[in-house]
Structure formats: structure tokens, C-alpha cells
């Protein structure tokens, strides 16, 4: 009999044992237990307990475990000594009873099969029998095995964060709602995880990270001396053991499953890794888990199936109707279900010689799908599942471990039911023309494919209930119309509460009822081949010419469906729950919920919704005419990220999309209702396309008490919002929370500092980044949702700092490979949408910068994650892109008006360039520089994969392009690096060319010097002009004094700054900040990031921003306010402000650079810190000024000391680059911790303190608000969480007891600016006699810096010009 109890981690199905009620015995006789306990050395008990505690702290019960912060951040108390002792006793009990040392007959403690959850962690796999049957062993043998197991936790290096093909097991999504009402018919079985990685048998690579164990010797933890991987089938059967592999040089980035003993599709496999330290002591990870899925089309017994009516809307007979009419015929969305009869599984479950050990359900669906079994949802995912790809090329499937359902008591006698509910997703969203063009996306009816694998003890695998479209009564699958009337990624969801109630239990065997509403599905079919669809799209894109007459209309014209592949990225899951900060009564039963920050997600109603009221007039966009006419009751929810300043309502215009709104109250462009004639424009949205969910209860349910009480949330849409309006109820709904959804990759990077404005900028970027990670990295999460190449080029360094993007960006590159035209051209977006092709060089190519994203991202992926497979897989495609540029670039540029010598070029021609900069854009430079970058990328990739011929060719090609740029931009003796007829006023210019090593080494410092001549300018923007008209004179005069405003004869003007704010577009931000910091002017870079006034992060926050805007200027009707495009500053903050980054020539983060740089004055910054996660582990740095005077007026002149701490994980390598030392009196001392401190506890304590500070709103302290009665702006003093300063865990008081070595004086080495390699461990450098000095002012906020451009000494980084060539192994400065 199989184990009936679910497992959180290390899941296995043990042999038959007595059923019990407690996992750890707590009552009954103690004698046998005490005898057992006394035979175990106390050190072993402590080791076991410490390991259990450490694993829980490292893994949290899996990749994520649910934790919802409600009120008190300090509610998680530290364990008392008594608690610790009790836990140690419990662990010993766990081992004693779970491993069978004491049998049930020897004691009366109940035993639960769950006690064997980590049996093989507490035992050694029997290599002779390939089993872990401890019960058959003698007592001395058991003692030896337990001691051996304890020794496996004695090592100094702890492996954690296990992943397969870059995918990690996720047990519980951290934002998953705790209240999910189930049907009374639902099973009591539990779901074991929210995401189970699934791989192909032929493609399995293991990866893990590691860190030093607290209390271990730093020397012992410096290097992984050996490792071992064990993989077993659920049930304990060993499938593969790598044996102990010695690590002579460096640990590999990943370890592949050997091709000689491949696992089978359908198997669920547990695995762990054991690491040995320098002293040959071992430490094991916990067991993780993955599944093996079908690899080829022939492995699929299931077929794609659809509702027959839906399928028929793609038949030529329906072609006479409009696209919108056919789309409405496919509403409501379908539900699919299948019954697994008991007679199918009974022979397998009751076969004692070959019993069932696991059950794997594999499913995919288009548009989006959610799966349940016996009435229990199998995951918290759903909004966009499968992930967004070109579905005519490839579609991902999911795998679910449903063993618990088939193994529950009575499972063999009962039937089981699988239910699949559907949303529209990217497959069949409302055919409304906007940014996302539905006619260019693959499109068809909602459809699913599924099959269930049953695996037995002997490895036999049975495939049952595959989806089929049989028209006989024998079909296991049925389909009907469900409770979701409409589901759309852009406009929201309409949920029929009445239908939801009527079909309760539809996906359970006991609630199963045969009725006419359920019909047999049909097999999905189309006459359109993948090749022909691709050719038709390519012709539209001008990527190929039509070679024959256009075909007549196909009989069945649904899009073809691509190849099924295992998941390449984690699903979109709820990652956070947020309670509302404030609730406002807007009248007429309308309630405004403010959640304090913007994000992507939806509302969740813990207690359901109250009964609605009917106001005299529904507030704008809250009406539902069709429901009102039928007497139905309904509740609407409207979402938005900001408020309309003249009304206080949600600003729907900003999220509507270009041309899909009437301008709103502030900028009326059309009369209300003008959009209602737009094809398929939603009814009742009053001229503005809105993010709106509607919950409706039909009139026939009017007698039902609280008909909306079962409502919890929408499922197949996400909204971008900070604010939500709920209408119309007499009281605000109770228990309302916001669920934050994103792709569930891990957070790897952090940054903190003492400066509220710099911190705030980092948070703006991170919040926007999180909002836009919904299976693709999008530009904005409400109206476009599309993956643009330029955004990836600009922001991928920031994203790779913040998150583990290894799987996500690998999938992203594949998306572009799928989209590449046959002529080699890459597109602007990963699914062609015909948006800005006019800005490219023609023949189907996207704008050159945007289209070069795939090779750039491939190089950055290698630098961060070391995945050589991605390089081998993508090189040929990147070569084709460069070949395309070789063939078409020059002619294309001439057609676009760029003459060869730029004699007629005055800047900003065809091309997007440094998009949304304050300056005019130099589009020739960006086009040509990214042509160079494409060739550099190919050279880099070819070198890594060993193709020397391609390396030489591409490197020479890149150098030719670089020299051409340099000769044109230094023509006629001009040293400001500008095009021949330029006036040093375009972007990007010097900053890009310096950073990317385009400027010749001998010219770099004169170009840098002349760069400081640039200055800012006044800004005539619409909203800024209106703001000043609506501003009291007293405020205006104060802003003149601070430099924010310029007063001229025609009035006040806002101005943008070159050196005290931002003017750069999406690319030059990174180039400017990094170039300044790297070339000795870090204090100027800090001043830009910490600037105030127009075109700064402070300007956004003063207007209540919590996410990055699309533009530096304020927009009330066009530009998005949740857009990470301008977010490149975040990576600079970690790499330069704190000082940890990837060494330019590293691969897979083997080597990291610690380069702390300090401001001249402590008024700018007193401390900063960052953590950078890598495939090896976490690298961290923190620095702070110490002995600062109490009088802050002396922050410009005092002499202080600077303390720097940094951490290198086991197996890692660090390089310390010294900051510029300004005084001969300054000394530098380095010391190394000899014993690894408890960094996990330090992190936890520091995190709690930071949460407390954020809760106290110690961040940004004011905002500009609009008084709607007076029609005037005023400054409102009010503390906010955003920007709250927090110190690093490396300076937590618990580390004050760290044991250090005697230290060494490194003053001489640092004075010579010598890089210093360092081994793993915790380090500290103390600088004494560090002088602070006043910052150079320049000529004002919008002026320049004559102190630098008039100087002949630009610092130590201008002394050597020979090191300025681009290195072919340098992935940082490739562009």
C-alpha cells in the first residue's frame, strides 16, 4: 500500500506501515526512547538538530514557504533554550521511530509514515540492494548508519538552493492565499508543491549553491573538495549515484545526468548533493524533487481537444461573421474534466509485487489553465499558464505530483476526477487593436492536452486517461461552458457567481453528474501549417517576398500549435500578499483601497464579497448595462496605479493604451462613449479601456443568502495597480488583500544605503521590474505587456542583479530564436508585432538596438550563469543576424537618410536610439554601435565554444566598425566625441563610447574632460507647465532658491540637469553612471542619483510614485507609471555605490569584483551595502563611515575611518580593487575571519529591524498633492516606507564577536592601485585617517562643471591609456 500522507520535501513512498496520527511521538512510555537516546553521542544529537534548524532557515521548507505579513513584523519570536532542547529531543524521536530503531510493538507511540520523509538523509543508501530498508538491518548496523548520517552533516560547506535545468522545486508560493474554500465534495488530500520542475530524460543538469556553516573553520570552508549526487525514484529505488567526484580545480557550474542510464518519462525523482570540505568532511543537502516528462511528440498519447462550438468558430462557414462576434461565441470559457475510474487504477494499486509509487499528471492548455484533482487546485498558478511564447512554435506543459490523491485511504475503491478551467491568456484575448495586435499572434479556441503517468515499484509506467476527442460515450473527457463569462489580459474578467454555485463539485467524483451541459470535446484541428503561417507573417513583415498567389481561405483556419516542451521557467505565482494601507469612501457605495505600492496582480477576498447595493447612478465605468437590464446583481473592481488629480478617481487613461481612451477629465480628447464604436471595445467602460473585474449573480439567485460569499478572486488576468475601486456595497468588503503575481524566480540581489533618494530610486526600479515579470520581461504590465529588445538591453543587468534570471533569460533568448526570420533578421519584440519596424533597416529587422538583444543577452547569461549549452545552441542564429547586418546595414542606413560621411546628418533620424531621453538622440551612433556589439557578441560566444575561425572573423569585423565610429566622431580634431555636424548635445555620446571602449585609449581622458562641458536646460513639458500655473508664488520662490526652478521673463520653468539629475534615455543612464564611477568621478554619479527636482527619482516620488515611470517627465494621459525601462541605475547602485559586481572577464560568476568607492562628503552618503547572488552563492559587501562628528556641518571636512566588510562564498573567488586614497596619512588594514559567523541569524535579525523601520515610514517624507477645491498644488509632509535606510547584516551586532586573524597592512598595495585576489570567507578592511571634503558645485543645477573641463589633471584613471582596449572575454563592456 502506498503512503497516504503528503510530503513537503524529500518526498518518498515508504513500505507498508501502520497508519498513525502524529509525525513525532509526544505521549506514551519513555523507556525505550531513553535507552535509544543514551546510546547516541550528544554531539550527534546536536548535529542533527543543528542541521534540521539550518536547513529550515536556508530552504524554508522548499524554494518558498508561505508567510503572510499581517500586522506585527516582530511576531516571529526567537527560539528559547527550552524550545531548542525540545526540538532536539523531537529530532531524536523522529530519527528513532522514523528509521525503525524502535518498532511499534516495542513502544506505544503512534508512528506516521511521514516520519520517513528524510529517511535517506538519516541513513545511507544500501549500495548492494539499491534500497534504503533500514528495518532489515541489525541494531549495530543502524547505529553505524545513523552516525554515518550525522557525519554527513559535519562538513563546513552547506549545499542549498538545488535546481534542475535552472528550475527549483517550489513547495508553497509565499503569497498564496490561506483561505481557499473547497467544495464539500473535494478530497482531503493535500498538494505537495506549487511548482514541480519537469525535464526531458535526455536533458537533465543539476545545480546548487553553497555557503559556509556557522562555526566552521574558514580554511576548511574555502573550497569544495568533492561532491556526490544521488538520485532515486519515489519509493527509494536508487536510479543514479555519481559516486564521490574529486574537484581538482573548480567546481563545475552544473552536473549532467549521464546519458548511459536515462530515466523514463513519468518518473518522479528525488535528488540530493553531498559536498566535502577541505578536511574531507561531508555535508548533505535536503532531498529535492523533479519529474521526467514526455520529450517527443510520440510520447504524447493525449491530443489537443476543444469545445466543439469553439472549434467551429474557426471554420470557414463562420468567416462571414466578424472576429469580435466569433470571439463572443466562444464565451463563456470552457471547463474540461475527466474521470479516472477505480477499475483503471485498482489493478496497479493492489499489486503488492509491483505497487504504485508515484502519479504524474502532465497538462498544457491554451489560453491559460488551472488544474484540479478531486476538487483540489494543484497549484496557485494560473494567470498566464503556459508562459507567453509564440504558441505556433512551442508550448510549455506542467507536471503535477498527484500521488497523494491516488494513495489516500480508499483510493483504490474510488474513482477520481481531473478538472481544468480555462482563461483566454495570450491565445484568445479580446480582438481589440491596441499595442498587442491579436491578428499577429497565434490564435485558436481554448484547448487542452493531458495524460496521467502511473509509475510502479519496478519502474513500469502506465499512461492513462489521455485527452481525446472521441465522439463515443467511452471518452473519459467532457467539456462545458463554465463560470467565467469573459477573461482578458487587458480588460479583466467577468465571473458568473450563479454558475459557479450551480456547478459546485464539477471536478470531483462525488459531485460528478451527467447532464446535457457536458459534451464530448473534439480534437483541435486546422488546415494552416506552421510553415505557411510563418511565411504569411514574414511577408507582412517584409522579411520575405511572396513567391506565389495568396491561398484561398482555409476551411479550418485556427493557428497551428507548436511543439510541447517541459517548463523552461517557473510559473507565475502569488509571491506576496499586501493588506491595504488605507480605505476611502468615495460615495455611492464605492470604496477606494490603497495598497501603498504598485505591482501586478489582483484582489483576493478572504471573506468573500458582501451583497451589492444599487446606486441611483453608477460611477463611471462601474456600470454593467446587460446585467442591470436582466435584474442581475453585480460588483465591479477597477484597478489603477495612480489617481486622476482633478477627480480623485483611479486614472484609467494611463493604463488604457494609446488611442483607447477619451483623454479623461484632465485632457479630454473625445466625448464620453466615443470609443464604444471601436471594434470589440468593451461595453460599460465609458470610452476608456479599463482594468476591470466583474462578479455577477443572476436574478434567479436573488433569494440566496450572501450570493457573493464564495467569491475569492479573478484567476486568468493580472492588473497593474496600487489602487482598487470596489463598487457598489454599503460597507467596504472585509478581508481584502492584494496578491502580487510574478514569475517565481528567486531574489538574489539586495541594496541599501543611508540615502533615502538613492534607496528610493532602487525601489522604484525593483517594484517596476517585479510588476513586469509575467513570463516575459515586459515594458508595462497593463496596456502592452510585450517583451521589447531595447528594454532587455537596458535593464537586464539590473534584473540579473536582483533575481536569478538563469532560466528566464534562457527562455527569452529562445523566444527570439523562434522569432528570427529566415533571412537572419531579429525582431523588435520576441513575437513580431509590427510596432517600430520603420525605425530599423528594413527586411523585417527590428530597430538595430532592440533587435540585437538576443546576442547581448546570451553573453550576459554566460557571464552570470556559465551555461555553455545556451552559447552552443544560439551561436548559429546570432551569426545569421550579423550576416544579415553585413548584407543590409549600409544600404538600409542610406535609405534611412544616413550618408556615409554624415555630412548631412544632424542627429535623431530614423531609429529609436536612447529612447525617451531629455536630449535629442544620436540614432546613427546607437544603430552602428549595436552592429559592432552584435559582432563582438559573436566573437565572444565563438571563443567560448571553441570556434576560433569565427572568433577571428567577428572580432576583426567589430574592430572595423569601432574604428569607423571613432574616425567619424573624432573628425576635424573634435575631442567631444560627437558626429561631425554635432554640437555635443545628443545622447548617447561620450558616456556610451567611453564605457563600451569605442574611444581610442589615448583619447579617453580628453573626451571625458570635454564631457563635463555639457549642461542641462529648461523643460517646456505640458504637465510641468500646468503644475507651475497651479502653484502658489511662495512655493515657486523657494524652488528657485533650491535650484529646482529657473525664473525668466516669461515666468518660471523647470529644468533638467546634466550633473545633478538625469537627462539620459534608457541606455545612456547606465553608461553615464558607470563611466563616472569607474573613471574617478563617483561623487558626480552619486550626485546624479541623489539629485532632486525635475528628471530625478525624487521627482517621481514627490508625485507618489512607487514604480519607475516610462519618462522623466510627468504624464497624466500617455506615458506609463509602471515601466522599468529607465531602471539601469539599480545595477550601478549595487556595483558602484556599494561595490560588488561581476569581474568583467568572468564566466558563471567565478570571480567577483569588490570595488568600494566613497563620496567626497558624508552629506551624500554615510553607508551602503549590497548582496549579489551567483551560481556559487552570495557575495556581499558593506561599508560605512565611522567616527562621524555629531555636527553634520563638519561632514565636508572631518577625518574619519571607513570600515568595509565583504563576503566570498565557498568555492568563489574575489578581487578587491582599492578606492582612490586621497591622503598620505590614510592607512588600510585587512583582516580575515577565522571562524564563519552565523550569517543566517544576522540576516534574519537585520531583516526584522528593516521591516520595523519601514513600518515606521522612515523613508521619503513628502509629496505634492492637488487641492481640487482650490485647484492648487501644495506640499504634504508625510512619511513613507519607500527609501527607508537600512544597514547591512554584515554590520549586525551579532558579528561583533567574530574571530579575526591578526590582520595585515595593505596600505602600500592600495596606494599602488593593485587589485588583490581573495579566497572565500568574511573579510574586513579598516581605513583610518580618511579625509572628507566638500563636493565640487559646478555652475548650478542645470549648469556644467568647469572645475573639471578646465583641469589638466583628471585623476589616477587617466594615467594609462594602454588598458582601454576591449577584451574579447569582457562581457561587461561589450556594449
Residue 137: pLDDT band with limits 50, 70, 90: very low
How much is the pLDDT for 403? 94
69 pLDDT tier (thresholds 50, 70, 90): very low
Task: Express each pLDDT in 903-914 by its tens digit.
Answer: 999 999 999 999
What is the distance between the alpha carbons of residues 1341 and 1060, in angstroms, rounded to a whole number? 6
Q: Which three cell numbers stand for residue 299?
A: 510520447
pLDDT digits (tens, 9 = 90+) for 259-303: 899 999 999 999 999 999 999 999 999 999 999 999 999 999 999
Q: Is the pLDDT of residue 120 over 50?
A: no
- Report which listed range, 49-58, 121-130, 135-144, 329-338, is most confident: 329-338
**Using 50, 70 and 90 to split pLDDT, how confident is the model at 670?**
low
Gap between the Cα atoms of 202 and 162, Å rounded: 19
Place of cell 564611477: 1077
User: Nearest 5 degrees, angle CA 783-CA 796-CA 909?
Assistant: 70
pLDDT of residue 89: 45
The pLDDT, as a whole number, for residue 516 is 81
Place of cell 507511540: 109
259-263 long-range Cβ contacts below 8 angstroms, 24+ apart? 259/202, 262/201, 262/202, 263/201, 263/204, 263/231, 263/233, 263/239, 263/292
Instruction: Tell me the average pLDDT across 1062-1073.
Output: 98
Q: What's the pLDDT at 1360?
A: 59
Q: What is the DSSP letter of 574?
A: E
Share of the chain above pLDDT 90, in %: 75
Confidence class of residue 658 from pLDDT cuts 50, 70 and 90?
low
**Tens-digit pLDDT profile for residues 818-875:** 999 999 999 999 999 999 999 999 999 999 999 999 999 999 999 999 999 999 999 9
- Please tell me the predicted confidence (pLDDT) of residue 129: 29
* pLDDT at 675 > cutoff 70: no
Q: How many helices (H) and strands (E) does the chain have?
A: 31, 50
Q: CA–CA separation, 602 vs 682, rounded Å?
A: 20
| pLDDT over threshold 90, residue 47 | no
pLDDT band at 29 (very low <50, low <70, confident <90, very high): very low
Across residues 1147-1175, what is the average pLDDT?
A: 97
36-42: average pLDDT? 48
DSSP-assigned letters across all residues of 322-346 = -HHHHHHHTPSPEEEEEEE-HHHHH
pLDDT tens digits, 1311-1322: 877 899 999 999
* Strands annotated E in 1158-1198: 1167-1173, 1178-1186
pLDDT of residue 1309: 83
Residue 3: the pLDDT is: 34
Mean pLDDT of the region 899-928: 95
The residue-averaged pLDDT of 625-652 equals 94
Neighbour-count burial of 860, counting CB atoms closer than 10 A to its CB (0-12 exposed, 13-18 middle, 19+ buried): buried
Q: Give mean pLDDT, residues 655-676.
A: 70
pLDDT for 783 equals 86
pLDDT, mean of residues 1182-1200 = 97
pLDDT reading at 86 higher than 60: no
- Spatial separation of the C-alpha atoms in residues 102 and 843, rounded to whole Å: 75
Q: Which of 102-116, 208-222, 635-649, 1207-1221 has the lowest mean pLDDT?
A: 102-116
Evaluate if residue 1063 carries a pLDDT over 60.
yes
Q: Give me the phi and psi of 1134, to 5 degrees please.
A: -75, -40
Going along 1189-1271, which residue ranges are E strands?
1199-1208, 1213-1216, 1227-1232, 1262-1267
* % of the chain surpassing 70 pLDDT: 86
Which pLDDT score, from 0 to 100, does residue 90 have? 45
Predicted pLDDT at 705: 79
Instruction: Inform me whether the pLDDT recorded for 346 exceeds 90.
Output: no
Q: Average pLDDT of 436-443? A: 89
Q: What is the pLDDT of residue 60?
A: 39
871-889 pLDDT per residue, tens: 999 999 999 999 999 999 9
Q: Report pLDDT digits (tens) over 1101-1145.
A: 999 999 999 999 999 888 999 999 999 999 999 999 999 999 999
Q: What is the mean pLDDT of residues 439-452?
A: 96
Across all residues in the chain, what is the average pLDDT?
88
Q: What is the pLDDT of residues 1215-1229, one digit of tens each?
A: 999 998 889 999 999
Contacts of 320 (CB under 8 A, 6+ apart): none
pLDDT of residue 674: 62
The tens digit of pLDDT for each residue in 995-1042 reads 999 999 889 999 999 999 999 999 999 999 999 999 999 999 999 999
The pLDDT value recorded for residue 974 is: 82
Amino acid at each position: 500500500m502506498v503512503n497516504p500522507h503528503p510530503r513537503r520535501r524529500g518526498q518518498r513512498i515508504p513500505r507498508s506501515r501502520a497508519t498513525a496520527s502524529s509525525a513525532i511521538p509526544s505521549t506514551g512510555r519513555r523507556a525505550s526512547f531513553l535507552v535509544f537516546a543514551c546510546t547516541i553521542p550528544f554531539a550527534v544529537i546536536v548535529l542533527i538538530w543543528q542541521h534540521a534548524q539550518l536547513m529550515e532557515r536556508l530552504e524554508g521548507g522548499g524554494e518558498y514557504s508561505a508567510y503572510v505579513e499581517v500586522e506585527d513584523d516582530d511576531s516571529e519570536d526567537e527560539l528559547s533554550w527550552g524550545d531548542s532542547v525540545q526540538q532536539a529531543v523531537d529530532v531524536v524521536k523522529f530519527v528513532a521511530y522514523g528509521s525503525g530503531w524502535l518498532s511499534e510493538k516495542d513502544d506505544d507511540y503512534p508512528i506516521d509514515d511521514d516520519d520517513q520523509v528524510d529517511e535517506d538523509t538519516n541513513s545511507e543508501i544500501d549500495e548492494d540492494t539499491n534500497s534504503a530498508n533500514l528495518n532489515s538491518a541489525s541494531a549495530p548496523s543502524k547505529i553505524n548508519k545513523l552516525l554515518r548520517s550525522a557525519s554527513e552533516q559535519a562538513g563546513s560547506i552547506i549545499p542549498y538552493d538545488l535546481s534542475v535545468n535552472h528550475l527549483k522545486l517550489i513547495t508553497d508560493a509565499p503569497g498564496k492565499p490561506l483561505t481557499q474554500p473547497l467544495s464539500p465534495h473535494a478530497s482531503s488530500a493535500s498538494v505537495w508543491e506549487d511548482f514541480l520542475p519537469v525535464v526531458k530524460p535526455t536533458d537533465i543538469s543539476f545545480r546548487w549553491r553553497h555557503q559556509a556553516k556557522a562555526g566552521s573553520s574558514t580554511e576548511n570552508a574555502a573550497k569544495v573538495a568533492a561532491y556526490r549526487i544521488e538520485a532515486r525514484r519515489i519509493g527509494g529505488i536508487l536510479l543514479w549515484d555519481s559516486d564521490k567526484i574529486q574537484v581538482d580545480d573548480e567546481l563545475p557550474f552544473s552536473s549532467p545526468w549521464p546519458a548511459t542510464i536515462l530515466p523514463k518519462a513519468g518518473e518522479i525523482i528525488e535528488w540530493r548533493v553531498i559536498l566535502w570540505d577541505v578536511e574531507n568532511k561531508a555535508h548533505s543537502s535536503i532531498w529535492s524533487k523533479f519529474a521526467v516528462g514526455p520529450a517527443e511528440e510520440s510520447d504524447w498519447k493525449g491530443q489537443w481537444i476543444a469545445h466543439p462550438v469553439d472549434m467551429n468558430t474557426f471554420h470557414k462557414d463562420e468567416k462571414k461573421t466578424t472576429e469580435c462576434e466569433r470571439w463572443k461565441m466562444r464565451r463563456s470559457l470552457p471547463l474540461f474534466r475527466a474521470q479516472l475510474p477505480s477499475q483503471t487504477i485498482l489493478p496497479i494499486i493492489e499489486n503488492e509485487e509491483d505497487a504504485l509509487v508515484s502519479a504524474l499528471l502532465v497538462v498544457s492548455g491554451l489560453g491559460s489553465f488551472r488544474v484540479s484533482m478531486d476538487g483540489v487546485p494543484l497549484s496557485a498558478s494560473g494567470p498566464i499558464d503556459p508562459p507567453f511564447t509564440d504558441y505556433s512554435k512551442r508550448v510549455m506543459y506542467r507536471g503535477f505530483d498527484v500521488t497523494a490523491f491516488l494513495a489516500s485511504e480508499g483510493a483504490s475503491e474510488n474513482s477520481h476526477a481531473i478538472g481544468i478551467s480555462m482563461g483566454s491568456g495570450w491565445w484568445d484575448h479580446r480582438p481589440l487593436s491596441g499595442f498587442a495586435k491579436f491578428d499577429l499572434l497565434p490564435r485558436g479556441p481554448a484547448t487542452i492536452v493531458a495524460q496521467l503517468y502511473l509509475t510502479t515499484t519496478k519502474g513500469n509506467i502506465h499512461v492513462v486517461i489521455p485527452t481525446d476527442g472521441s465522439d463515443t460515450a467511452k471518452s473519459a473527457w467532457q467539456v462545458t461552458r463554465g463560470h467565467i463569462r469573459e477573461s482578458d489580459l487587458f480588460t479583466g474578467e467577468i465571473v458568473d457567481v450563479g454558475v459557479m454555485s450551480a456547478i459546485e463539485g464539477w471536478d470531483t467524483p462525488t459531485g460528478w453528474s451527467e447532464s446535457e451541459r457536458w459534451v464530448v470535446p473534439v480534437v483541435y484541428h486546422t488546415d494552416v501549417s506552421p510553415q505557411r503561417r510563418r511565411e504569411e507573417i514574414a511577408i507582412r513583415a517584409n522579411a520575405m517576398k511572396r513567391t506565389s498567389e495568396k491561398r484561398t481561405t482555409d476551411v479550418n483556419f485556427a493557428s497551428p500549435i507548436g511543439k510541447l516542451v517541459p517548463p523552461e521557467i517557473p510559473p507565475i505565482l502569488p509571491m506576496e500578499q499586501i493588506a491595504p494601507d488605507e480605505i476611502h469612501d468615495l460615495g455611492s457605495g464605492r470604496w477606494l483601497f490603497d495598497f501603498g505600492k504598485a505591482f501586478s496582480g489582483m484582489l483576493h477576498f478572504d471573506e468573500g464579497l458582501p451583497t451589492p447595493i444599487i446606486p441611483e447612478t453608477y460611477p463611471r465605468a462601474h456600470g454593467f448595462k446587460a446585467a442591470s437590464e436582466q435584474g442581475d446583481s453585480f460588483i465591479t473592481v477597477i484597478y489603477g496605479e495612480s489617481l486622476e488629480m482633478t477627480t480623485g478617481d483611479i486614472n484609467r487613461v494611463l493604463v488604457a493604451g494609446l488611442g483607447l481612451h477619451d483623454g479623461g477629465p484632465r485632457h479630454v480628447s473625445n466625448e464620453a462613449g466615443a470609443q464604444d464604436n471601436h471594434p470589440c471595445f468593451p461595453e460599460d467602460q465609458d470610452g476608456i479601456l479599463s482594468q476591470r473585474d466583474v462578479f455577477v449573480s443572476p436574478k434567479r439567485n436573488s433569494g440566496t443568502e450572501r450570493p457573493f460569499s464564495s467569491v475569492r478572486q479573478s484567476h486568468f488576468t493580472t492588473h497593474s495597480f496600487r489602487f482598487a475601486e470596489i463598487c457598489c456595497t454599503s460597507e467596504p468588503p472585509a478581508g481584502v488583500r492584494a496578491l502580487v503575481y510574478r514569475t517565481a524566480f528567486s531574489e538574489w540581489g539586495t541594496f541599501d544605503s543611508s540615502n533615502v533618494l538613492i534607496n528610493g530610486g532602487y525601489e522604484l526600479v525593483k517594484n517596476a521590474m517585479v510588476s513586469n515579470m509575467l513570463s516575459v520581461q515586459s515594458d508595462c504590465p497593463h496596456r502592452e505587456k510585450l517583451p521589447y529588445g531595447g528594454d532587455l538591453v537596458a535593464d537586464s543587468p539590473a534584473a540579473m542583479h536582483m533575481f536569478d534570471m538563469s532560466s528566464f533569460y534562457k527562455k527569452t533568448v529562445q523566444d527570439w530564436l523562434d522569432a528570427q526570420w529566415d533571412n537572419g533578421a531579429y525582431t523588435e519584440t520576441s513575437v513580431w508585432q509590427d510596432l517600430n519596424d520603420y525605425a530599423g533597416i528594413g527586411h523585417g529587422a527590428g530597430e538595430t538596438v532592440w533587435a540585437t538583444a538576443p546576442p547581448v543577452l546570451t553573453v550576459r547569461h554566460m557571464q552570470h550563469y556559465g551555461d555553455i549549452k545556451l552559447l552552443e545552441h544560439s551561436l548559429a542564429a546570432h551569426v545569421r543576424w550579423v550576416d544579415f547586418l553585413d548584407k543590409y546595414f549600409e544600404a538600409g542606413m542610406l535609405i534611412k537618410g544616413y550618408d556615409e560621411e554624415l555630412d548631412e546628418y544632424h542627429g535623431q533620424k530614423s531609429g529609436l536610439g536612447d529612447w525617451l531621453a531629455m536630449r535629442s538622440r544620436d540614432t546613427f551612433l546607437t544603430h552602428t554601435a549595436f552592429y559592432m556589439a552584435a559582432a563582438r557578441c559573436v566573437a565572444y560566444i565563438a571563443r567560448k565554444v571553441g570556434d576560433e575561425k569565427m572568433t577571428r572573423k567577428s572580432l576583426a569585423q567589430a574592430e572595423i566598425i569601432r574604428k569607423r565610429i571613432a574616425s567619424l566622431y573624432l573628425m576635424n580634431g573634435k575631442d567631444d566625441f560627437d558626429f561631425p555636424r554635432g554640437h555635443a548635445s545628443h545622447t548617447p555620446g561620450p558616456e556610451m563610447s567611453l564605457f563600451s571602449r569605442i574611444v581610442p585609449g589615448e583619447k579617453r581622458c580628453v573626451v571625458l574632460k570635454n564631457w563635463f562641458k555639457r549642461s542641462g536646460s529648461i523643460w517646456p513639458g505640458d504637465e510641468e507647465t500646468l503644475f507651475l500655473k497651479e502653484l502658489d508664488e511662495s512655493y515657486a520662490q523657494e524652488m528657485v532658491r533650491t535650484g529646482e526652478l529657473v525664473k525668466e521673463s516669461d515666468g518660471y520653468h523647470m529644468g533638467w540637469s546634466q550633473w545633478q539629475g538625469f537627462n539620459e534615455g534608457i541606455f545612456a543612464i547606465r553608461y553615464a553612471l558607470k563611466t563616472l564611477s569607474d573613471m574617478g568621478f563617483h561623487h558626480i554619479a552619486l550626485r546624479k542619483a541623489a539629485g532632486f527636482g525635475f528628471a530625478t527619482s525624487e521627482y517621481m516620488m514627490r508625485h507618489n510614485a512607487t514604480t519607475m515611470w516610462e519618462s522623466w517627465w510627468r504624464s497624466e494621459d500617455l506615458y506609463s507609471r509602471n515601466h522599468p525601462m529607465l531602471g539601469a541605475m539599480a545595477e550601478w547602485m549595487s556595483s558602484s555605490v556599494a561595490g560588488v559586481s561581476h569581474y568583467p572577464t568572468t564566466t558563471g560568476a567565478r570571480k567577483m569584483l569588490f570595488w568600494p568607492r566613497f563620496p567626497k562628503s558624508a552629506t551624500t552618503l554615510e553607508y551602503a551595502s549590497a548582496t549579489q547572488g551567483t551560481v556559487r552563492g552570495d557575495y556581499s559587501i558593506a561599508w560605512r563611515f565611522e567616527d562621524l562628528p555629531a555636527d553634520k556641518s563638519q561632514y565636508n571636512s572631518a577625518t574619519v575611518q571607513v570600515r568595509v566588510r565583504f563576503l566570498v562564498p565557498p568555492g568563489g573567488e574575489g578581487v578587491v580593487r582599492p578606492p582612490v586614497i586621497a591622503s598620505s596619512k590614510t592607512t588600510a588594514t585587512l583582516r580575515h575571519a577565522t571562524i564563519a559567523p552565523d550569517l543566517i541569524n544576522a540576516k534574519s535579525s537585520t531583516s526584522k529591524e528593516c521591516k520595523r523601520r519601514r513600518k515606521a515610514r522612515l523613508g521619503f517624507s513628502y509629496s505634492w498633492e492637488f487641492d481640487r477645491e482650490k485647484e492648487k498644488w501644495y506640499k504634504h509632509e508625510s512619511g513613507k516606507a519607500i527609501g527607508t535606510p537600512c544597514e547591512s547584516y554584515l554590520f549586525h551586532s551579532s558579528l561583533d564577536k567574530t574571530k579575526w586573524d591578526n590582520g595585515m597592512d595593505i596600505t602600500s598595495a592600495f596606494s599602488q592601485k593593485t587589485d588583490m585576489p581573495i579566497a572565500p570567507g568574511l573579510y574586513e578592511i579598516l581605513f583610518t585617517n580618511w579625509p572628507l571634503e566638500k563636493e565640487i558645485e559646478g555652475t548650478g543645477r542645470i549648469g556644467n562643471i568647469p572645475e573639471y573641463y578646465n583641469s589638466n589633471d583628471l585623476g589616477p584613471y587617466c594615467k594609462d591609456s594602454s588598458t582601454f582596449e576591449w577584451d574579447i572575454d569582457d562581457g561587461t563592456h561589450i556594449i
